Amino acid sequence: MSARVALTTGDNRADMAFRALQPFAKQIKQSIGNKLVVLKPNNVSIDIQLAATHVDTLEGILEFLKSINKLKNVVIAESAAAGPTFDGFKNFGYFRMVEKYQVKLADLDQEKYDIIHVFDEKDFRPHPVRMSDMLLSAGSYVVSVARMKTHDRVLATLSLKNIVFGAPIKDAGFAYGPNRKQGTRIDKPIVHGSGFRGINYNLFALAPRLHPDLSVIDGFEGMEGNGPNNGTPVDHRVCVASTDWLAADRVGIELMGIDFARVGYLNYCAQSNPGAADLSQIEIVGEPVAKHIKHYQLSKNLENQLIWMKPVS
C-alpha cells in the first residue's frame, strides 16, 4: 500500500478527529519537529456555520496535539473569503480555544505574503497573486482542517482546495456587499483563472507548493447542492485523516459518492503522482469506506463544471 487514510465515525466531532489522527501520531510528531503548526480552517463564510470549519473539529485536533506534546507552537490561521477573518473566528466560537489551549489566532491577510503567478484561461498569461507566506513556508507544518462540501466550480472542496484558496489574501476592509471599503481588493478570484478549466489547472499547478502536510476532513455534517456557501446539510458522521493529502481527498470523494474521474484538479494531481489516488493502493484504517458512502447532490451547474473534460474548441 502506498498510503494510509483513517476513517472514523461517531456522534462527537472532537472525538472523531482525535481518533482519526491517532494512527499517525508517531509520524506527525516527528514531522512537526520544531516547526510552527498551522491549523487552517475552511471559513469561506464568516457567518454560515455549515460552510465553515466547526470549532469541535479544531478542538479534537488540539487535544491530539496536546497528547503528543506539540501544543506549544500552534496557530489557527485563515484568510476568510467573505469578510473579516476575526469576525468569523468570533462567530464560530474559536476564541474559547485560545484561552483553553493557549494557541494563537492569525488573520493571514495581515501577515507576510509572497507573489506567485497563476494561469488565466482567457489570455493564457501569468497573473500575480499575493499568497500567504505562512502557508508557503518550509518552517510551517500545515494542517488542512476542511469540511466535506460540494462546490460550484470544481465539484468538491476538500483538503487541498482549502489550502490553495486560503493562501491568496485580501486587503483590510474588503467584504462582498455594501460594507466593502472603497478601493480594497481580494486576490482569491484571480486563482479561479476566469473559468472551469483555469481553476482546475491552477489548483493542480499550485499543489506542489501549497498542499497540506496533514489533512483532516470533517464530514460529520457535510454540505451538498450549491456549495461551498449555499448548500444543504448531509448527516454523514464521518471524519477522514491522512498525512497524504491526495489519498485523503480521494477517500473523501468516494465517501461523497462522486465519480473521481469528474474531479479535474484531483485527476491532474493524480497524473503527476504526488500521493495515492488509486483506492486499491490506499490502506483504510478504521471504518470501511463502502459502508459509509452517501451520494451528495451536486451543484446545479454540474454540466458547465465538466467542461474541463472536453477539448478546447
DSSP letters along 262-309, please? G-HHHHHHHHH-SS---GGGEEEEES-GGGG---PPPPTTHHHHGGGG
Could you tell me where the DSSP H helices lie in the chain? 13-21, 25-32, 55-67, 85-91, 95-101, 133-136, 159-164, 188-191, 196-210, 245-255, 264-272, 302-305
50-63: average pLDDT: 98
223-227: average pLDDT: 97
Mean pLDDT is highest, among 1-5, 182-186, 217-221, for: 217-221
pLDDT value at residue 273: 76
pLDDT value at residue 220: 98
Burial status of residue 253 (CB atoms within 10 A of its CB: 0-12, 13-18, 19 or more): buried
Per residue in 115-124, pLDDT tens? 999 999 999 9
pLDDT value at residue 1: 57
Q: Which three cell numbers stand for residue 2?
A: 502506498
Categorize the per-residue pLDDT at 25 as very low, low, confident or very high, splitting at 50, 70 and 90: very high
In 3-state terms, the chain is what percent helix, strand and coil (to 5)?
40, 25, 35
Categorize the per-residue pLDDT at 136 as very low, low, confident or very high, splitting at 50, 70 and 90: very high
pLDDT value at residue 202: 98
pLDDT value at residue 38: 98
pLDDT value at residue 274: 63
Share the mean pLDDT of the chain.
96
Residue 193 has pLDDT above 80, yes or no: yes
Per residue in 274-297, pLDDT tens? 678 999 999 999 999 999 999 999
211-235: average pLDDT: 97
Categorize the per-residue pLDDT at 82 as very low, low, confident or very high, splitting at 50, 70 and 90: confident
More confident site: 107 or 177: 107
Q: Evaluate whether 17 touches 214 at the Cβ level (below 8 Å).
A: no
190-206: average pLDDT: 98
Give the Cα separation of 271 and 283 in Å (integer).
Answer: 20
Residue 241 has pLDDT above 60, yes or no: yes
Q: Evaluate whether 114 touches 83 at the Cβ level (below 8 Å).
A: no
Count Cβ atoms below 10 Å from residue 63 Cβ, excluding itself.
17
Cα distances (Å, whole numbers) of residue 247 to 13, 53, 275: 21, 20, 6
Give the Cα separation of 114 and 168 in Å (integer).
Answer: 10
pLDDT value at residue 176: 85
Please state, for a pLDDT cut of 90, what percent of the chain lies above it.
92
Residue 96 has pLDDT above 80, yes or no: yes
The lowest-confidence range among 67-76, 123-132, 166-175, 244-253 is 166-175
Residue 49 has pLDDT above 90, yes or no: yes
The CB-side HSE value for 52 (13 A sphere, CA atoms) comes to 25
Q: 214 Cβ partners below 8 Å, 6+ apart?
A: 21, 24, 28, 141, 142, 143, 144, 241, 242, 243
Q: 74 Cβ partners below 8 Å, 6+ apart?
A: 36, 37, 38, 39, 62, 65, 101, 103, 104
